[in-house]
Amino acid sequence: MPEINTNHGEMNVFPSPFTSSFKVEGQLNIPASDEISISIQNLLGSTLLETSTPLTNDGKFSQEINFSPASAGVYFLTVRSGNAVMLRKIVKE
């Protein structure tokens, strides 16, 4: 699945599709703060989950996310740090 806003960094989500939980990890090219915010939205734009995780000194991040209460379907995963935003489509089976 292609990444969006790749000039801000790289982000990987696995497994894909997932059944209950997944891991998101990556690296920001220009960290804007010492942590990132992670959110998941449904296709209507409603935010279903919000969390944050620290960035390492070199801008890397890694977070395991339990999304088991959600129904099967397509969602959007957004990672933000300052003005840097990365977006991925994720699929829950």
**Mean pLDDT of residues grouped by 10 in the chain (93 residues)?**
60 95 90 84 97 90 95 96 89 97
Whole-number pLDDT of residue 32: 62
How long a stretch of residues is the chain? Answer: 93
Number of domains in the chain: 1
d(CA 57, CA 19): 32
Is residue 41 in a domain?
yes
d(CA 25, CA 61): 5
Is residue 86 in a domain?
yes
Q: Do 51 and 61 form a contact (C-beta atoms < 8 A)?
A: no
Nearest residue to 61 (alpha-carbon basis) of 18, 29, 17: 29
Q: Do 73 and 42 form a contact (C-beta atoms < 8 A)?
A: yes
Is residue 1 in a domain?
no
Q: Is residue 59 helix, strand or coil? A: coil
Whole-number pLDDT of residue 29: 82
- For residue 80, the enclosing domain spans 6-92
CATH of the domain at 68: 2.60.40.1930
